A and B are shown apart, each in its own frame.
Chain A
Amino acid sequence: MAFYDGLFEKLGLREWCGTGKSDAPLSMSDLLNQSSGADAANSGPVFPFPSLDNLNESCANLSQTRDVTKGIEDGFLAAKPALKTVLDPITQPLSWLLDSALYTFSAVPWFIMIPILLAISWFSSKSKGVTAFVAISILLLAFVDHYDVAMQTLSIIFVCTGISVLLGVPVGIAMSKSDRLERAVVPVLDLLQTLPTFVYLIPLIFLFSVTESKLYGVAIILYAIVPVIRLTNLGIRLVDKDVIEAANAFGMSSKQKLIGVQLPLALPNIMAGINQTIMMSLAMVVIASLVSAPGLGVNVLRGIRNLELGVGIVAGIGIVLLAVILDRVSKAALSRVDMTHKTH
C-alpha cells in the first residue's frame, strides 16, 4: 500500500486512476528494494512529499518524473527538424569561418605567424613590455611543442570574439535606445551567463553534428557575447547627460549623436566588454573540447580522461599563458583608448 492511496479514495478518483498497479520495477531503486525484499512504501519516509513519483504509486494514471524529462526530450526532438532548417543555413558561415581560420593559423609557418602576432600586439598595445611578454610566452609554448594546439585555440578565439563583437555591439546599442528591449534582453543575458557551461552543449549536440565546427562555435559565442552586449548598453547609457543635451541643442541627428558622441564616449566600456568577451571565449573553448573543439583543451581533456597528469598540466599552463597574453594586450589597448579621452 502506498501512502497516498487514501487521498485518491477520498477524492473519488480511484476509478480514474485505475486499480491495476503494475508490479514492474519503475526505477533502479525500486528494483534494488524489490530484490532486497523490502516493500517500497514501508521503507520510505513516514510522510513522503507528494511528488509525481510518490503519487504515481497510488495512482498509475499520473505521470512520473521521468515522463517529464522524456517529454522535454521528445519535444526537443520533434522541434529539431524545424530548428535545423532555420539554424543550419544561418550558422553555416560560422563553420566556414572557423575551418578557414583553423586552416590559416596552422598553414602559415611559425616564422611568419609569430612576427604577425607580435606586430598585432605591438600595434594594439604600443607597449614594449607587453610585446616582449607575448614573444616569450609564444616561444615557450612552441618550445614544448604546443605551438600548433595553441594556434588552434587562438584561431577559434579570434573568430568567436570577432563575431561576438560584430553581433554584440549592435544589440547593446539597440538596448541602450529602448528600455523595453533592455527589459526583455537582460533576463536572457542573465540566463546565458548563469546556465552551467556544460548545459549549453547538450541541446547543441542534438542540433548540430559533432563533426561540424559550428557546434562549438555557437556554444562559445552564446557564452562570450554577454559582456560585450552588457557593457555596450551600459557604456552608452552612462554617457554624460549634459553632453547629450548639448548634442541635442546643436541639432545633431540620432546618427550623428551615436557616431560622434555616444560610441566614442562609451568606447572604454565597450573595450572592457571586449576584454571580458575574449576571456570568456577562452574559458569556453577549453570546455568545448568536449564537443570536438580542437586546441589546448583537448590536451586537458586527455589529461583528465587518461590521468596523464603532465599532459594536462602543461596544457593548463599553456591556457594560462594564452589568457594572460590576450588579457594584457586587450587591456593595454583599452588603456590607450582611455588615454585619448582624458589626456592630462
Chain B
Amino acid sequence: MSSQPKVRLRGLFKIFGSDGLAALEYVKQGLGKEDLLAQYQHVLGLQNIDVDMQAGEITVVMGLSGSGKSTLIRHLNRLIDPTAGEILIDGEDVMKLNEDELRVMRQTRMSMVFQKFALLPHRTVVQNAAMALKVRGESEAVQNAEAMKWLDRVGLQGYENHYPAQLSGGMQQRVGIARALTANTDIMLMDEAFSALDPLIRTDMQDLLLELQQELNKTIVFITHDLDEALKLADHLVILKDGAVVQQGEPQGILLNPNDPYIEDFVSDINRARVLKVRSVMGKVKKGAKYAGDVQMSDNLESMIALSNGETNKIYRVLDGDKVVGQLDMLDLVRALVPRVSGSKG
C-alpha cells in the first residue's frame, strides 16, 4: 500500500437544487435528506464523504439505488461538481483545475465504463475502442494498433469492424472496457458496469476484470448495487446509504462485523460460505493442536466444508503459499456462517 492514496475524497457534499450552498448549512446543522427535500426542495446527493482509494486496488462503492453511488463516481472526474469538499488525485486538488486542464485530466488520467455502455453507435468497434486516443490526437496507426491490442485482450478479435448494435450486451461492454483500457489511464471508473448484463455473462466479466487487474494493477473504482459482486471484486468496500458512508473497510471484515442494521440486512441474504475466506475466520497457531490437513488462506469456507466432509471437530493448518499463518477450527467456521444479529433488530 502506498503512502499516499491515489484518490482521496475529503468532506465531500453534494446538494442538488437552486441554492446548494445555503442548503449545505442546514445539512451541516443536521437536517436529514427527507426534511431537506420537504422544507427546502433540495436533494441531498452526498454528505460528508471521506474515502481514500489506494493505488492498484479495486474500491467498490455499494448502495441501493438513490444512495448516491453514481453521483459519487461522477465527482472523481467532475462530471458533477461538488457543493463542498475536496477531491484529491495524486494529491492534486481536481477542483482547482480550469476547463482545459480538466479535459486533459479526463483524457490522460481517468477512463470510465458505463452501465449502458454508451458506445458511439455510428462508429465501428475498433473506432470506439480508440476513442480516447483519437480525442488526444494520436495518429491513426497508433489508434488502431492500441485498440486492436485491447480488443484482443478482452476477447473481441474478429469483431473490430462491426457496429456496436450488432453485438450482444456482454460484447458491447467488452468494447466499453477495451475503450477504457486503450485510454491507458491509471484510474478506471466503472459505473455499474456489469449491472445491465445477465448473471452468467456478469460472472464472466467479473472474472475478466479480476484477471486484467492482476496484470495491470490499475486503481479501479467500481460502483454496484450487488453485494455478491462487491464482495468478489473489492479490496476496499464502501457502503453508501442516503448519500453518506455507513461503513467502509476490508469486505470480509464488513461481512463479519456489520456496524449498522442496514448492512446487516444487506449481508443476511448472501452465501457466506462462498464469500468468506479462510483468512477471515482463522485463529492463531496454538501449540499442540492436531491438524487434519493444510489449507490455503485464500480458500473459501465452502471448499473447507467439502474438505472436512461437514465434520466440526477438525482443525486445519492455514498456509499462505508455504508459510504457516494460522489455524482454522471448523467450529469457528460454522459459527461464522451465521450472520450476527444486532440487538436493534429485535
- Interface contact B112-A265, CB-CB below 8 Å: no
Residues of chain B within 8 A (CB-CB) of A343 are 163, 165-166
Total A-B Cβ pairs within 8 A: 69
User: Is A344 located at the chain interface by the 8 A CB criterion?
Assistant: yes
Q: A242-B116, A246-B112, A343-B163 are in contact. Are A251 and B122 (CB under 8 A)?
A: no
Q: How large is the interface on A (under 10, 10 to 19, 20 to 34, 35 or more residues)?
A: 20 to 34
- Interface contact A252-B135, CB-CB below 8 Å: yes
- Interface contact B79-A342, CB-CB below 8 Å: no
- Interface contact A344-B165, CB-CB below 8 Å: yes
Residues of chain B within 8 A (CB-CB) of A265 are 120-122
B166 to chain A minimum Cβ distance, whole angstroms, is 6
Interface string of A260-295 (1 = CB under 8 A from B): 110011000000000000000000000000000000
Partner of B114, one of A246, A252, A253, A260: A246
Stretch at the interface among B13-21, B102-110, B230-238: B102-110
- Interface contact B118-A246, CB-CB below 8 Å: yes
- Interface contact B121-A248, CB-CB below 8 Å: no
Q: Taking chain A's interface residues, is the majority helix, strand, or loop, or is none over half, making it mixed? A: helix
A201 to chain B minimum Cβ distance, whole angstroms, is 42
- Interface contact A251-B114, CB-CB below 8 Å: no
Which residues B114-148 have CB closer than 8 A to chain A? Answer: 114, 116-122, 131-132, 134-136
Residue of B with least CB distance to A256: B135
- Interface contact A245-B165, CB-CB below 8 Å: no
Q: A240-B118, A243-B120, A261-B120 are in contact. Are A250 and B165 (CB under 8 A)?
A: no
Residues of chain A within 8 A (CB-CB) of B104 are 251
User: Is A70 located at the chain interface by the 8 A CB criterion?
Assistant: no
User: Is B77 located at the chain interface by the 8 A CB criterion?
Assistant: yes
B37 to chain A minimum Cβ distance, whole angstroms, is 23
- Interface contact A251-B118, CB-CB below 8 Å: no
User: Is B111 located at the chain interface by the 8 A CB criterion?
Assistant: yes
B150 to chain A minimum Cβ distance, whole angstroms, is 14
- Interface contact A250-B131, CB-CB below 8 Å: yes
Partner of B122, one of A246, A249, A252, A341: A341
Residues of chain A within 8 A (CB-CB) of B122 are 264-265, 340-341
Partner of A249, one of B106, B117, B119: B106
In the assembled complex, the Cα of A261 lies from the Cα of B114 at a distance in Å of 17
Q: A243-B120, A265-B121 are in contact. Are A251 and B103 (CB under 8 A)?
A: yes
- Interface contact B106-A342, CB-CB below 8 Å: no
- Interface contact A245-B121, CB-CB below 8 Å: no
Which residues B57-71 have CB closer than 8 A to chain A? Answer: none
- Interface contact B163-A250, CB-CB below 8 Å: no
Residues of chain B within 8 A (CB-CB) of A246 are 112, 114, 118-120
- Interface contact B106-A248, CB-CB below 8 Å: yes
B38 to chain A minimum Cβ distance, whole angstroms, is 28
Residues of chain B within 8 A (CB-CB) of A264 are 120, 122
- Interface contact A341-B121, CB-CB below 8 Å: yes
- Interface contact A250-B106, CB-CB below 8 Å: yes
In the assembled complex, the Cα of A252 lies from the Cα of B100 at a distance in Å of 10
A102 to chain B minimum Cβ distance, whole angstroms, is 38
In the assembled complex, the Cα of A23 lies from the Cα of B131 at a distance in Å of 84
Residues of chain A within 8 A (CB-CB) of B121 are 243, 265, 341-342
Other 7 A-B pairs with CB < 8 A, given A245-B118, A250-B179, A343-B166: A243-B119, A250-B107, A250-B111, A250-B112, A250-B131, A251-B105, A343-B163
- 20 of the cross-chain contacts (CB-CB < 8 Å) are A242-B114, A242-B118, A243-B120, A245-B79, A246-B114, A246-B120, A248-B79, A248-B106, A249-B110, A249-B114, A250-B112, A250-B179, A251-B102, A251-B132, A251-B135, A253-B103, A260-B134, A265-B121, A265-B122, A344-B166
CB-based closest 6 A-B pairs: A251-B106, A251-B107, A246-B118, A249-B112, A242-B118, A251-B103
